[in-house]
Structure formats: structure tokens, C-alpha cells
Structure 1
Amino acid sequence: MIPAEFIAKLPEIARKYLDGRTLDEVECIVADLAGVARGKAMPGAKFARQAQFYLPNSIFFQTITGDWADTVADGFTEPDMILTPDFDTALPAPWTADWTLQVIHDITDQKGDPVSFAPRNVLKRVVALYNAKGWQPIVAPEMEFYLVAPNTDPAREIEPPMGRSGRRAAARQAYSMSAVDEYGQVIDDIYDFADAMGLEIDGILQEGGAGQIELNLRHGDPVKLADEMFFFKRMIREAALKHDMYATFMAKPIAGEPGSAMHIHHSVVDAATGQNIFSDEGGAETPEFMHFIGGMQRNMPAVIALLAPYVNSYRRYVPDFAAPINLEWGRDNRTTGLRVPVSDASARRVENRLPGMDCNPYLGIAASLATGYLGLIEGEGPSDEFTGDAYSAESGVPRGLGDALGLLETNLGVQQVLGAEFCRIYAAVKQLEYTEFLHVISPWEREHLLLNV
């Protein structure tokens, strides 16, 4: 029996979902460094009686391949962390066979202090720095991903999915409604699942790649939006699997097709007045707007390791392939890494077009916000606006994971904002992943080097 006082803690969407039903199971989850859901599942009645549970801190030392980085000087003892449910995040898991809720948990050490290298805590740390200055950061993320045919053999190339016409999804059909209709059943389930979970979708459209979708979210609080992206990635995968497809958030899953980005729109409001600090009372751009862009330009190279976290991520940074590889800024210019969209004064914002969809949403948003925060604190403006085709501009962006990690490890300002311990552990995990990758010999190397060099 689920106590009434427990049900009262749940948000309205969860209470509506459970109305007249028995809560069978609760998934107690957190996001690891990669954004993978880690945690425990337990019967609903047991969860209702339990105030917290435990997981070892080693879940944050794990690489995407399952290995563990050696990040502690006094031995690998795997002490427990304390996980406490954040009931505001309790949402249905409507794809399951029984009545299940998923709940994101807050993470502290055994002294009650936030675990500094937990990604959600890293984002909360950055937001708190804004709040301490009387500012509230606002973000609006965009999610790009591919629907692809099932692929159980890593040696086989990824293919677009089969559409309802009996043909595979076609490329170069951006904004085509017919292209979206090819896999309309998956889109319908995404809408239905989102409705059941209380998640708001601003829009869905066909992107330029074969089977590539863009999903836009409304603007709001950074932590809440990162939570929603974390939920969306799980849900979209489940919707695709229902229809014999995979959903992939790899930055570059298919050779010759555009990569998938996680563009982030940024604005900052005065917490006391609600006024967008990027616009003055007359509607003109403020010095703070320029400082924010300047900080992004100067500090973005140091956080590319968070925005492009895998070796595959850098395959997306290709000139003239719908992915800016520069630190230029411009108004309504999609070739620049930093774009100022057309808007009225109250919605003035800057769009960071550099993050890939393979990044952890908590860390991607935290890193992007960190660069703008440093700009507001430093008070220095950006370079001159770029008005032409910025694909021809000098890159300024590291082109490989090894170089990106080196820039993260030498930027003390970024480390101070994100947390030095987090940066140290993140770099160690990513360096191990990079080393593991270097042991792999690719088909390209065998084809072109085996008999020719």
C-alpha cells in the first residue's frame, strides 16, 4: 500500500498517471559523466518507505567502454554516496509494461555535501554563481538525433531507417513534412510519451541528414531543462525501439551526412526585476550582452572537451557541413559558432552552435554557461561581428579530443567555475577513453595503409 503522504509529494503529472492504479516500480536514477542513467529499480511500496539509498562514487570514474579511471591518490575504495529523491523530477515511464515512475536523485557525500563531480551538481554550481550575482540564466536547447536501422554488428556501417514507403529515409530533405511522415509512428509515440510525462515540445522537424530529426524545447531554468533532456534521450530511444529502429545521439553516426548538434540559446535575467540584462530599457544591446559573447569566445576552447566529449565528436566539425568550427559571432548568421538570432529586445539571446548532441546535457549546459559567466565577470567585449561566410574563418576550435583536454587542464578560470575536482576527474576519464580508442585499428587504416605505405 502506498501511503497518501507519499503520493502528495509527487508532481501533478505523476499523480494523474497513478490515479486509480498501483505504483509497481520506481527507477531511482542519476546521470553519470556520459549522461547514462545509473541507479536502482525497486518496488513502489519499498521506495515510498525509503528516504534515501546508496551508490558507490566510482560510477563517475567509469568510461563509456566500462573501464575505470584511476582518479584517487589514496586508493580505489569506492565509498558510498547518498542519493535522495528530488520529487519534482518524478515522472512516468509510459513505455514500460507496468506502472513505473522514474525519479532523479540529489547526490551528496556521507557528510551531506554535494558530490562535486556529479554532473547535475556541476550545473547547479554554475547556476548558483549566477544567482549570487543577482542573475538567473535562461536556456533553450535544441536536440538533433538520427533514427537509424537496427545495428547489432559494430563492423557494419549505420544505415538510415526503412520508412513507411518501403524506402530508406532520404538525405537533404530539411524541413520536409513528407520526410517526417516516413517514420510518423515514432514521432507520434514521442508526442504521446512526452504528453504522459508532462514534457513540453516546442517543435519537431526534419533536419538535413537521412533520418535526422530536430526537437526543440521551450526556454527555462537550466537544471530543469537538463533534466528534461536526460528524460527525453531515454524516452526517444524507447519510442524508436517500439518500431524496430534505433535512435542515436552520436555526433556523427553516418559518413557523408551532417552531424547532430545540441544548440543552446542563452539569455540572462535580473532575478529581482525579471529584465533581460542583454537589453536596456530602450531595447538596445547592453555591454553585458557583449561581455557574455566575449567570454564565450575566449573560454569556449577550454570547454570543447565537454561539448565534444568523444573522438567521434570531432568528425562533426567539418567545414560547410552544417557545423560551425569557429569562434566568430554574428547576427542571424548560421555559419558562426555564436549566433544572435532575430528577436525582440525581451528575448535577446545568443545561440551556442558548437555543442554536439553526444554531450551530457548537464555538462554541456554548464560548460556553455561557464564561458558566458566568465565574460560577465571579466567585462571584456568580443571581436568584431562576422558578417560573411564564417566557414572560411580561422577555426580556433580544437580538432581532436587530446588537444581539447589539454586546453581544459590549463584554463584556471573555467576550472574555478566548474570545480577543480570535477575537471580533474573528467579529464582522467576522457584521457583513458582516448587511450583505449588509440588501440583500435580502423577499416580506413587497413584499406589505405596495409599495402601502400
Structure 2
Amino acid sequence: MTTDWLKDLPEAAKTYLEGRRLDEVECIIGDLPGIARGKAVPATKFARQPYFHLPDSIFFQTITGDWGEAAGEDGFIERDMILRPDMSTATAAPWTGDWTLQVIHDAYDRDGDPIPFSPRNVLKRVVQMYRDKGWEPVVAPEMEFYLVARNTDPAKEIQPMMGRSGRPAAARQAYSMTAVDEFGPVIDDIYDFAEAMGMEIDGITQEGGAGQLEINLRHGDPVKLADEVFYFKRLIREAALRHDCFATFMAKPIADEPGSAMHVHHSVMNRTRKQNLFIGPQGGETDMFYHFIGGLQRHLPAAIAMLAPYVNSYRRYVREQAAPINLSWGRDNRTTGIRVPISSPEARRVENRLAGMDCNPYLGIAASLACGYLGMTQEIRPDKQQRGDAYNGEPDIPQVMGQALDLFDESDDLRHMLGGEFCRVYSIVKRLEYEEYLQVISPWEREHLLLNV
């Protein structure tokens, strides 16, 4: 790291620090759930260190803090990884009390090879497979989340937050500007934080749930967009805490309300001609367009364990509640799992509506891109287009986490795309989480089984 490294920062970071003294740098990396792990160091120390160390065990930890037996043949020795900063990700942490930057790091072993179970490395692997074919994948994520009342007791149900009017947020007010205004102070901070971080919001809307919002991001490079979703989750949580509420990215936080998705729009460009491969000579739809859809239909069942990574995730797939129940595809049809939005030929894209907002953005996007790639390389034709209500069809995606993990473990195609070592570690950690959940007795069981069976 050179002494004049501040001169090479992205423009937004330089603007944020203009006329100010940088105090601290947060060196961070996303683990399997997408939690930011790392170290905060004084800016002067960061300037002197080209890398820092964290143990590889951060990728073996469950969401509850337990540890999966995923260390491999050498045992649980917590070998140090080398974490090197990607300075293109340097951005403000504007909610802190001093002048702080945060920088995403990439994980390598002592030989300089990427750590295979680091989520950002998994996504980079998939993107490189596209580039090796002369293709450039393009994505645009949509982020849904709830603003809810503070909840410090897990035994209590989650409640909508209190709006500006002094009334709880109301459900079934999709696209209402009045409903958006209820959260005005929180949204103002979200915009301010995003501006300080140099991240562009394409729009904010009220969704169908009580206190549920959606933020759309502009299309672009998959790794860059996954970085932005990773940063946005942190940003939104911090904005909510300033206004005595929580932001939650649970897939299904409130019973009888819609769940929260991370819809991902996909297109694929020719790297040399910069042309959308889904567009034919006369503006029609190409074989690659249909093959991408076919790949999603065939391979997403095995990838659901990455798009819906927790037991709560499967509560989202409910008929008539704004989430798909099957892998049908259709044009301008929001009941299908795979949707082709209305667009000009140049903007033709495929929307995967299965991913929950609880997924790790690197892994969710990697899984979705992997399925599309397999469709394009295996020349998979999709089923007939769904022209009516897809909720009238039968479910054809896993219904529980255990079933999803079985399909994940059986997929040699996904193992090839994502890397065998990643798939091994991911399965071990997720199965431990599932086993932990199965030991919990729910209020429903106590209420209906205690005296009746």
C-alpha cells in the first residue's frame, strides 16, 4: 500500500473525506450468511498493511454462532487466510461517529489462491466462466425489506413500525406514496447514506406488506452489484436504528404478510460486440434467451438451498402472497417464478423471482447465474410459456430446507460451477443450522399438540 493511497480512492470516498481527516478503516469480508466480518484499524495502520489475517473458520460458522465440522482433513486448526483489500470498494461508513471508510477484502490462502468457500470468490468464479465463453453477465437486484418495531424478545411476534402519523404501518398499500411518506425520516437517511457512499438508488416503493419497502438498483457487473447489496443491508439497518425501529431482511418476518425477495434481473452481453445475446437480428428472442430460461427451470431446484438458505425462507413460497410456488415462466406475469418483463429489445432480460432477501447476495447471484449458464451451454429448452395464473399450477420447488439440501448435494452440475470445496462446506454448515432448528419446539406445537394428541 503506497503512502498516497488516499489519492486513488473512488470519487465518492474522496468527496466524503474532502477537508477531513480519516480516522479509521473497517476491513471487512462477507461470511456465508452475508454478515460483515473483519477488523477496524486506524487509518495510519491501514496505510502500512497490504493485507491482514482472519481464520478460515469464519466460513464454518452457522447463523446461531455454532461451528460446522467443515475444516477438512487437517482438522479445526483455524488456518489464517490472507485478506487483501479491493480498493474499488472503498466507501464511507457515514453512520459512524468519526470519519471512517469501509473496504471489502478478498480472501486468499498462503499460496495466493482464492479461498474457495469465500462467497465473493464463488461469484467471481461463476462470472469468470461466462467471460471464458466471451460473455459478460449483467444483473440488476431488487431489495425488499421490512421496517418493524423494535423487537428484543424473540418470543413476541414482529410488529410493523410506528409511522410518522403515529399509526402502525398499514398493509395492502402497494405503491402508495402516502405509505412511503410514513417512513420519510428513515428513507431520507437511506438516501443520504447511499449518496455519501456513492451508490445510486433507482427507486424506492412501498410493497404489499405492512412497513415493507423495495429498493431497486441499476444494472451492472454482478460482483459490483453484490457488493452494493452487501453494503445496502448494513446501511439500511443503521438508518432504521436512528429512528427507533429495525430493518429486517428475513424472508417471512410477519405471518399473513408477503415475504421479502431479492429479485434478480439477468441479461448476457457479447464481450467484444457489447450486444445483448438475448436479441436476434430483427429484435426477436434468441436461442440463448430460451436456453437461459431453460437452465433456470432445470437447475434452480438444486440451487434453492442458496436462494432460500434458512427454514424461514420456505415460509415465503405461499400462493397468492407475491412469491412464486413453481418454476413456470411467462412474459409480464408476476405469478411465475421466472418472469420476462416488458422492455425494448435492447433491455431484454430474465427475472428470477425465487431468491429471498435473506440470501447472501454473492451466493444468490452466483447460483442464479450458474443455472442460466448451464442452460446456455447445455442448450436446455424451457417448458411452454405460462399464460395465466401460475398459482393454479402445482408447486415444483423444495418445500423445506432438508429437501433443498438433498437436491443441492446431488447436483454435479452446480458442484462444477460453484466449486466442490465450497459446496462441501456450505452443505455442512447449512445442515447443522437445520438440525439446530429441528431441536426447537414452536408455540404452534405447544398450543395444538400438548393436550390434543
Q: TM-score range by the shorter chain?
A: over 0.9
CA deviations 1:221-241 (Å, max 9, x no partner) are 000000000000000000000
The alpha-carbon deviation at position 375 of structure 1 amounts to 0.3
TM-score normalised to the size of structure 1?
0.99
CA distance in 1, matches of 2:369, 2:276: 16
The alpha-carbon deviation at position 74 of structure 1 amounts to 2.6
Q: Which runs of 5+ in 2 are unaligned?
A: none
CA distance in 1, matches of 2:164, 2:219: 33
The alpha-carbon deviation at position 10 of structure 1 amounts to 1.1
Q: What residue is the counterpart of 1:36 in the other structure? A: 35
Q: What residue is the counterpart of 1:248 in the other structure? A: 248
Q: What residue is the counterpart of 1:413 in the other structure? A: 413
Is 1:396 matched with 2:413? Answer: no
Q: What residue is the counterpart of 2:56 in the other structure? A: 57
Give the share of equivalent positions with the same residue, in percent.
Answer: 69
The alpha-carbon deviation at position 370 of structure 1 amounts to 0.3
CA distance in 1, matches of 2:387, 2:323: 17
Is 1:11 matched with 2:15? Answer: no
CA distance in 2, matches of 1:130, 1:11: 27
CA distance in 2, matches of 1:282, 1:159: 52
CA deviations 1:315-345 (Å, max 9, x no partner) are 0011111101101000111111000000111
Q: What residue is the counterpart of 1:23 in the other structure? A: 22
CA distance in 1, matches of 2:385, 2:346: 21
Assess if the C-alpha contact under 8 Å between 2:3 and 2:47 holds in 1.
Answer: no
The one-letter code sitting in structure 2 at the alignment partner of 1:41 is A
Q: What residue is the counterpart of 1:74 in the other structure? A: 74
CA deviations 1:145-189 (Å, max 9, x no partner) are 000000000001100000111110000000001111111000000
The alpha-carbon deviation at position 4 of structure 1 amounts to 5.5
The alpha-carbon deviation at position 73 of structure 1 amounts to 2.8
Assess if the C-alpha contact under 8 Å between 2:149 and 2:158 holds in 1.
Answer: yes
The one-letter code sitting in structure 2 at the alignment partner of 1:262 is M
Moved over 3 A (4+): none
Equivalent residue runs for 1:292-441 within 5 Å? 292-441=292-441
CA deviations 1:13-56 (Å, max 9, x no partner) are 11111111111010000000000000000111111111110000
Q: Which runs of 5+ in 1 are unaligned?
A: none
CA distance in 1, matches of 2:49, 2:313: 40
Question: What secondary structure, in the 3-state scheme, does the structure 2 residue paired with 1:396 have?
Answer: coil
Q: What residue is the counterpart of 2:237 in the other structure? A: 237
CA distance in 1, matches of 2:252, 2:9: 38
CA distance in 2, matches of 1:295, 1:144: 25
The alpha-carbon deviation at position 106 of structure 1 amounts to 1.2
Question: What secondary structure, in the 3-state scheme, does the structure 2 residue paired with 1:260 have?
Answer: coil
Q: What residue is the counterpart of 2:270 in the other structure? A: 270
Question: What secondary structure, in the 3-state scheme, does the structure 2 residue paired with 1:202 have?
Answer: strand
CA distance in 2, matches of 1:30, 1:41: 12
The one-letter code sitting in structure 2 at the alignment partner of 1:30 is I
The alpha-carbon deviation at position 3 of structure 1 amounts to 7.2
The alpha-carbon deviation at position 9 of structure 1 amounts to 2.4
The one-letter code sitting in structure 2 at the alignment partner of 1:23 is L
The alpha-carbon deviation at position 281 of structure 1 amounts to 2.2
Q: What residue is the counterpart of 2:135 in the other structure? A: 135
The one-letter code sitting in structure 2 at the alignment partner of 1:425 is V
Q: What residue is the counterpart of 2:260 in the other structure? A: 260
The alpha-carbon deviation at position 272 of structure 1 amounts to 0.2
Compute the RMSD of aligned alpha carbons.
0.9
Q: What residue is the counterpart of 2:207 in the other structure? A: 207
Q: What residue is the counterpart of 1:445 in the other structure? A: 445
Q: What residue is the counterpart of 1:46 in the other structure? A: 45
